A and B are shown apart, each in its own frame.
Chain A
Amino acid sequence: MPKASPSFDYGTCMACRACVDACPFSCLEDRKTGLERYNKAFPEMARPEKCTGCGLCAAACPVDAIAMLPSPAPGA
Chain B
Amino acid sequence: MKGYTGKILLVDLGTGESEVQAVDDAVYENLLSGVGLGAWYLYRNIPAGADPLGPDNILGFTSGLLTGTGSVMTGRWMAVCKSPLTGGWGDSNCGGSLAPAIKHCGFDAIFFRGISPRPVYAYVDNKGVQLRDASACWGLDAVESEERLVAECWAAKKPAVAAIGPAAERLSLISGISNDLGRYAARSGVGAVMGSKRLKALVLAGTKAIRGEDPEAVKNLSKAYSRTMRLVNMPAFLKGAVLPLMGAALGAVKVAYSLDGMVSAMMFKRWGTAMNSTYGMTNGDAPLKNWGGSNADYSFKYYHHLNPDRVLARESRKYHCYSCVLGCGGVCDIKDLGKGEYAHTHKPEYETIMAFGGLMMNKNLDSIFYINELMNRAGFDTISAAGAVAFAIECYENGILSKEDTGGLELRWGDSEAIIALLRMMIAREGLGDLLADGVKRAAERIGKGSERYAVHVGGQELPMHDPKIDPMLGVTYAADPTPGRHTTSGGLYYSTSFLWTRVSWLPRFKIHPKAEDYEPSERGALENVAMTSFKMLIDGAGACYYAMLTGVPHFRIFEYLNAATGWTKSPDEYMEIGKRIQTLRQLFGIKQGYDPRKVRIHDRAAGRPPLKDGHNKGLFLRTEEMIPYYWKAWGWDEASGIPTEATLRGLGLDELLAEEAVHA
Contacts and interface: CB of A to CB of B under 8 A. Distances in A.
B617 to A, nearest CB: 34
Given A21-B100, A62-B72, A63-B226, A14 B325 contact: yes
A67 interface: no
Contacts of B317: 33, 39-41
A62 B223 contact: yes
A21 B68 CA distance: 9
B598 interface: no
B327 interface: yes
A56 B68 CA distance: 12
A18 B322 contact: yes
Interface residues of B, number: 37
B322 A21 contact: yes
Interface string B498-536: 000000000000000000000000000000000000000
A15 B327 contact: yes
A68 interface: no
Contacts of B219: 62-64
Interface string B155-187: 011100000000000000000000000000000
Given A14-B230, A16-B72, A63 B100 contact: no
Most chain B beta carbons < 10 A, residue from A14, A25, A33, A41: A14
A4 interface: no
A25 B156 CA distance: 5
Interface of B is mostly: loop
Most chain A beta carbons < 10 A, residue from B209, B230, B325: B325
A15 B100 contact: no
Contact of A15 (B215, B222, B316, B318): B318
Contacts of B215: 59
Chain A: interface size category: 20 to 34
Interface in B184-237: 207, 209, 215, 218-219, 222-223, 226, 229-230, 233, 236
Contact of B320 (A17, A23, A59): A17
Interface in A22-65: 23-26, 30, 33, 37-41, 56, 59-60, 62-64
Given A18-B323, A26-B158, A30-B320, 7 more contacts: A14-B229, A15-B327, A17-B320, A24-B207, A59-B215, A60-B70, A62-B219
Interface string B94-136: 0001001100000000000000000000000000000000000
Contact of A16 (B158, B236, B316, B323): B323
A23 B325 CA distance: 19
19 contacts: A15-B327, A17-B320, A18-B322, A21-B100, A21-B101, A23-B157, A25-B156, A25-B157, A26-B154, A26-B156, A37-B233, A37-B236, A38-B270, A38-B318, A38-B327, A41-B318, A41-B320, A63-B72, A63-B222
Interface of B: 68, 70-72, 75, 97, 100-101, 154, 156-158, 207, 209, 215, 218-219, 222-223, 226, 229-230, 233, 236, 269-270, 315-320, 322-325, 327
A16 B323 CA distance: 4
A71 to B, nearest CB: 20
A25 to B, nearest CB: 5
Given A39-B318, A62-B323, A64-B223, A24 B157 contact: yes
A56 B157 CA distance: 13
A37 B312 CA distance: 12
Nearest to A25: B156
B223 A63 contact: yes
Closest 8 CB pairs of A and B: A62-B222, A14-B325, A24-B207, A26-B158, A40-B318, A18-B323, A41-B317, A62-B72
